[in-house]
Structures are given as C-alpha cells and as structure tokens.
Amino acid sequence: MSELYVEAFGGLAGDMFLAALLDLDDARFTLPELQRAIGSLVPGGCSLELSSAWRGNLSGKHLEVRTSESGTMPHRGYESLKQLVQASSLPASAQARALAVLWRIAVAEGRVHGCAPEEIHFHEIGAVDTLVDVCGAAFALERLGVTRVFASPPLVGSGTVKCAHGVMPVPAPAVAELLRGRELLHGGGCERLTPTGAALLAELCEDFTPPAHFRTEQIGYGAGTRDPKEGPPNLCRVQLGTSGVGVARPARAQAWLGELQLDDMTGEEIGVALGALREAGALDVWWTSAAMKKDRPGVLVSFLAREDARAKLEAVVFEHTTSLGLRWREVERVECGREVLEVEVEGQRVRVKHRVRPEYPGRSHDGERDLSPEHDDVARAAAALGLSLREVERRAIDLARARIA
C-alpha cells in the first residue's frame, strides 16, 4: 500500500501524468505491461514510445501515444467512450476510476455549453489517445497499490488557447469548471493544465493540500510535448511513498474552524451565503440557532477550511453577509479515506461513495454504513427503471459491497 504526491509545478496533461508514473521505474508498472493492458482498449491498435526529454534545466520522460486517430478530433459522447472502456480487459476497479474521470469531463463540458452531460461530444477528448491516458493512469494506480493521492495547487497557465470551439481563455472553461473552488496557480505564458489533467486531479484528490509529512521512496518526472521559454519547465513530478496518515491508521489533518453570528439577514440570504462558502472551498458548512443580544434569535454559521482557503473564505463572508468579523480556531480532524465506486443497476450508472475507516482495535469490516450512493444518480436510475429510490439505493449498496468483498 502506497501513497502518491503529485506536483504539477509546470502544468499537467494526461500523457505527462502517465509518463511520470512510468518514470518511477517500478517493476509493477512498466511500458510493456501498459502496452498489453490497453491493447484491447484501442480500435486499430496503439503504439507507445517512452523517451527522455529535457525541459529547461530538468529532464523527465516523454510519452508519445500513436493510434489510428492521432492528429484527428473525432466526436464521441460519454456512452461511446464507456463502451470502449467496458469492452477492454482492464480490471473492473480501473475501469470504474477511468469512467469517473471521463464523467467529470462530461459534466464540466455540459455546464460550460448549457446541456446535459450525455449530450456532450468530447471533440479532442473523444480521441482514443486521451482514453489511453486516462485508462493508463487508472491502471497504473492500481498496479502500484496507491491508496491515496495528494497534490499541490497546479499551474494552469495564462493567455489563450486554440481548440475545437475556437480561441478560449486559459484556464480553458472546462478546466475552470472542473477545479471550481480549488486553489490554482496562474502563469506560464500558455496552456499548462489540460481538461484531462484537471479531471484526473479532481477525481483523485479531495483538495490541493500537500502532505504535512511524506517519506519518498520513488520519484518520477513527466514531460509535456512543448518546451515553452516562459515560466517553469513543462514538467510534472510524482513521488511514491507514505505520508504517515494513510487509511491503515487514523489520518490526522489540521484544519481551521471559522465562525460568525448573524441576526439581521433573512433565511434566503443566509442560504446563499452558505452556498458561496461551499463553492469557495470550505470542507464543511453548517449553522445552528443562537440567542443574540437583546434576546433576538439568530444563527451561528460555522465552516471548516484548509489553511490555503482561508483568505478566499474571508472574502466570501464579507461579500455575502452583514457580519463585522469572524473568528478562526485551528482544529485537528481525524479523516477517513474515501473512494468512489461505480456500479450498474439494470444498466443505469450509480456512483457510490465508500468511506474507508481507519484501523482501530476491534474495528469491524467495512459494511453498509460505509457506503453512500449519489442521490442524483439514484434519482435518475429510479426514474428510468420505474423503481423507488430506496430500491435503487439498496441494489447499488449491495453491488458496491460485492465489489469491496
């Protein structure tokens, strides 16, 4: 069991991430093994070439993916990509993780273009080159036994980029949507973070907080195709090791508790403020009733945050509330690990959150209390199948329990 720390200090694309994982030089994940794993994924075959490349004054591995579609921009929807993934010989868990990444892209593109995720044609993302990057990364994490992924805030770039939809600002709209509410680094003179790279980070990491302690065992660098002269080298770095806070024992992390009291705002106004705090990166937001001066009823608004989100949350408080101030207290959180399992209830896709509890003496095995189906997926499946919400939820939990077993 290992953990991975991703540093997209020069940007990140799918092929860069996969090249960095190969640069770890781990016998469990090699180029020939990757080639065999994706052999059933790509129509018409695929060839991979791994080479050393210098970017600035640092070197890393560059991965070139060649398929029959390289250089083209086929239009595929999520369902088409899903069929390719499910028809492959990749392990079920790797398939589920890859599909979760692709679904995030579909949802983000749908929000940008004002349509349902199922209606999105992926353009550049529809190329099987990208499918290789996403599925290869999911396969690599499984082979390497990675149980948790950390990441520092990624460099997104600056300026504009030309894509299938024309000239777009950097970060591209889909990237901005995928990483809404998270801390990003701007600069670099060009596009540094692609939608595929952003979707991988969004799926693999709950937030962009480097581990407080990390014992590195292996290091890999992945090089992008371009070698821009402005900004840091076009590289990403991954470190394989342990943080000391893995899911095998209680994961203790520092957080900040913010509090403010309100007695002169309507319930609707307070609701908008709570939503804005969540969008700005709060880990959790809640309110409780409070007795204010002159015996007026009021509310105590509380929220948890990482250190790097405090300034943004303070700005939200003073923008969306009438508060004259707020209090901060440093607290410690004991955190469970979390993964998302994807199951199918009579052909309907349902994502199930799996809480991975820390190991304590006498701890029971993971069970139904640790599984929580996504309500939106349950509602959609129930409507499509003519079943009750509880019936779909029960079936999804049973399927997820079988997956864990």
Which one-letter DSSP state was computed for residue 29?
S
Distance CA 377, CA 298 (A): 36
Using one digit for the tens of pLDDT, what is the confidence trace for 81-138? 888 899 988 888 899 899 999 989 988 988 887 887 776 666 555 567 888 999 999 9
Residue 226 phi/psi, 5-degree rounding, is -80, 160
pTM to 2 decimal places: 0.62
Question: In sequence order, what are the beta bridge partners of 218?
Answer: 240
Q: Which two tokens stand for residue 301?
A: 């608004």
Nearest to 163 by CA among 174, 153, 179: 174
- For residue 45, the model assigns a pLDDT of 72
Distance CA 196, CA 168 (A): 16
Nearest to 219 by CA among 18, 20, 32, 11: 20
89 and 129 Cβ atoms separated by less than 8 Å? no
Q: CATH 3.30.70.1380 in the chain, residues?
A: 251-335
**Which CATH superfamily includes the segment(s) 251-335?**
Transcriptional regulatory protein pf0864 domain like (3.30.70.1380)
Distance CA 301, CA 7 (A): 34
Using one digit for the tens of pLDDT, what is the confidence trace for 24-74? 999 999 999 999 888 888 766 788 999 999 999 999 999 998 877 666 666
The CA dihedral of 124, 90, 62, 165, to the nearest 10 degrees, is 10
Using one digit for the tens of pLDDT, what is the confidence trace for 252-286? 778 999 999 999 999 999 999 999 999 998 999 99
Q: Which two tokens stand for residue 153?
A: 């805030």
Using one digit for the tens of pLDDT, what is the confidence trace for 145-160? 898 899 999 999 999 8
Specify the DSSP element, H or E, that contains 333: strand 327-335
Angle, CA of 343, 138 and 337, to the nearest 5°: 70
372 and 336 Cβ atoms separated by less than 8 Å? no
Q: Which two tokens stand for residue 346?
A: 């009579």
The dihedral through the CA atoms of 280, 281, 285, 291 has a sign that is negative
